[in-house]
Structure 1
Amino acid sequence: MTTPTYLVIGDLTRDLLPDGSSTMGGTALYAAATAAWLGVTAAIFTSGNPAEPPVLPTGIEVALVPCRQPSTFENRYTPQGRLQLLHARGAALQIADLPPAWREAPLVHLGPLTGEFGLDLAAAFPNALVAVTPQGWMRHWELPLPAPIQRVPWQPDPAALAHVDLLVLSIEDVGGDEALVAQYAQHCHLVALTRGARGSTLYIAGTPHAIPAYPAEERDPTGAGDVFAAALLIHLHQCGDPLVAAAFASSVAAYAVEGRGITNLPTWEQAMVRMHTP
């Protein structure tokens, strides 16, 4: 295996749909697909059944830790709001199982969904730009499965957070607690808080900067935060300017929400045109 430019680590999920069918999902899918559409070589380290490998967009490699079934989610919509259930968990992901060539990837995105690894993994890539979308560390469920998922506050070890170059969360992830995000920003140089159509806030060394959203006809917001995180990390590596990179990420995310799933991801050129169109 060759060394990819962009490596994302985390569950590729099976998402159960109301009609009884299922679809593939997860941070790893949305982030790697974004990288591929932007012309960057991408790879996913995840778990799954080697006899039934995932069918991924062209240009994305995958390495699987064997397991019987992937992490499986279901969303049920009730009068009280959305109820998310976890039906199954995939295998734990450990650095020892990662293809050696992939350990040299210059861009690494840690996207846990079910606590399949810990934040300590960030320290395993000292020469990379490391991004984290910590959603999987902000969830709790009881056994046995299936069981409802509950949001829990995330209190990372500041020493571990110091190995993270970019932390990306949504306002829903933190239950609207922006003070908690500001706390993270005291230990991580770049922290992005996304708010969908209301734009985002980028903390640079603890100082907040407003990043406006680009107008979009939203059809499906699923995965938009993961798309934003991938585009931000990739362009940050390209240009070195966090504010320019965040504007680019907003442009890419605006494209993404105008289609279903990963069907409307833009090329680099398309994202730049939208970014510079008044």
Structure 2
Amino acid sequence: MIDFVAIGHVTRDLLPDNTSTSGGTARFAALLAQRLGLRAAIVTASVEPVPPGIAWISVPATVSSTFENRYTPAGRQQWLHAIAPSITEAVLPRIWRTAPVVLLGPVLHECSPTLATFFAGALIGATAQGWLRDWEADLPSRIRPRRWRPTPTDLARVHVLTLSSEDVGGDTELAAHYARLVPIGIVTHGAAGATMFVYGRPHHIAAFPAQEDDPTGAGDVFTTAFLIRLWETGDPFQAARFAAAAAACVVEGPGDAALPDRVQIVRRMATVPDQS
């Protein structure tokens, strides 16, 4: 039986030294779920290698969605070089549809939020980042913001939605609007913590101190840790504290190597007293 299903493109990320690595929300999420003791699976469209110990199914693809970060005096620019196919319900294994925890992790709106309807009884989370991106048809293309307009029906089965303030260009009103579309919406602010909206009411979530080395995947780790701990406890405030500690751990090292286990997360939580 699968405990945790992550849906989204596993990406190819081009690095400044002309090498590349695998990435994407679905990959980070499944690896963290595995590290936390869950049996994890990925539904994707990708030609990237399968992470050891992770169940995997892919839409037939000849390329992985491929990204590049370019650093300029004006800041970071993200470029898109290739796009993998969309992910539909046809590829979802029937036996995986009974998983208790599901994360929709689009990077290029490759999976619709309505995929949540195929997981009856599951706790459903989603990262909004991929639905908030747009690009030109001719690749390579610079990624630009997209005004996402989900309907109430689109998000009817989504329990938790996360996004970063960076995803909306720092527009706090727009971020809050998206966060209030679901029972629990979370807007992350990096080292400044996060704002968690519980049925529309905002609550500040403090970040844990960290020596940042590589912020890649921090938001994905926060979301995954939150979702798993919410499933385990039913308490969004306990889940948020656990997630903040997990995110603080992962930024202190590069890529997969910094993904924490439960012992590391609990140890980080112990460094700052719980004020709730």
Taking structure 2 as the reference length, the TM-score comes to 0.95
Partner of 1:241: 235
Query: Of residues 171, 176, 200 in structure 2, which corresponds to 1:177?
Result: 171
Query: Of residues 254, 263, 268 in structure 2, which corresponds to 1:274?
Result: 268
Farther-moved stretch of structure 1 (236-245 vs 93-102) = 93-102
Name the CA distance, whole Å, in 1 between partners of 2:216 and 2:222: 12
Question: Given residue 160 of structure 1, which amino acid in structure 2 is its aligned partner?
Answer: D
1:162–1:187: 8 Å Cα contact kept in structure 2?
A: no
Partner of 1:141: 135
Within the alignment, does 1:59 sit opposite 2:57 as a pair?
Answer: no
Show CA shifts across 1:35-76 (max 9, x none).
Answer: 111111111000123xxx5141x3311111111111011111
Partner of 1:8: 6
Q: RMSD value over aligned CA atoms?
A: 1.3
Q: Percent identity?
A: 50
* Matched length: 272
Farther-moved stretch of structure 1 (267-276 vs 233-242) = 267-276
Question: Given residue 263 of structure 2, which amino acid in structure 1 is its aligned partner?
Answer: E
Question: Given residue 49 of structure 2, which amino acid in structure 1 is its aligned partner?
Answer: P
Name the CA distance, whole Å, in 1 between partners of 2:242 and 2:112: 29
Structure 1: runs of 5+ lacking an equivalent: none
Question: Given residue 118 of structure 1, which amino acid in structure 2 is its aligned partner?
Answer: S
Partner of 1:215: 209
Name the CA distance, whole Å, in 2 between partners of 1:187 and 1:277: 34
Partner of 1:90: 84
1:123–1:160: 8 Å Cα contact kept in structure 2?
A: no
CA positional deviation for 1:277: 2.7
1:1-278 matched pairs, under 5 angstroms: 3-49=1-47, 54-56=49-51, 58-278=52-272
Show CA shifts across 1:100-138 (max 9, x none).
Answer: 111111100000111212222122223110000011111
Question: Given residue 212 of structure 1, which amino acid in structure 2 is its aligned partner?
Answer: A
1:168 aligned counterpart, secondary structure:
strand
Give the ranges of 4+ consecutive aligned residues of structure 1 lying more than 4 Å apart after TM superposition: none
Farther-moved stretch of structure 1 (23-32 vs 182-191) = 182-191
Name the CA distance, whole Å, in 1 between partners of 2:54 and 2:65: 20
Change (3 A) 1:213 1:96: same
Taking structure 1 as the reference length, the TM-score comes to 0.94
Name the CA distance, whole Å, in 2 between partners of 1:159 and 1:6: 24
